[in-house]
Structure 1
Amino acid sequence: MEAKQFDLGDVVQMKKGHPCGANEWEVIRLGMDIRMKCVNCGRSVMIPRRDFERNLRKVLRRKEGDA
């Protein structure tokens, strides 16, 4: 299976949405754990990288400034 590419500042879609109703998350920290912020309400959550990669659907928008 192909590894999904994501980077700091990307907006991603996960399998499960946030309780506020949005399903867009901005990646704000990378490491063993991934911290992501809900685009709609601004709440952030931290999940293990393994769970993040398993639940990632697709990258919606890349970070501005990337070519």
Structure 2
Amino acid sequence: MCQHQPPCPSADSADREAALPVAHHPEQGWSLLCNGVLLFEDTGELLPNGQIIAPHRPVQIVTAA
């Protein structure tokens, strides 16, 4: 699917989010990556095979001063 050189990571690789966007709709909160992954602004993903990846935002740790 990807025509970039070097090719972007595939949808089943661990670094799939590093693929380049082919459609970006920030007003709707999603981007389509060239590997077929639908990436949502809450960091959730929908893979081309229909698998759902739950949002995985890093947890901010607040310490008392």
Q: TM-score, normalised by structure 1?
A: 0.28
Between Structure 1 and Structure 2, which shows a larger proportion of helix residues? Answer: 1
Mark the structure with the bigger radius of gyration: 2
Between Structure 1 and Structure 2, which shows a larger proportion of strand residues? Answer: 1
**Which structure exhibits the higher relative contact order, with contacts defined as CA atoms closer than 8 Å and separated by 6 or more residues?**
1
Q: TM-score, normalised by structure 2?
A: 0.29
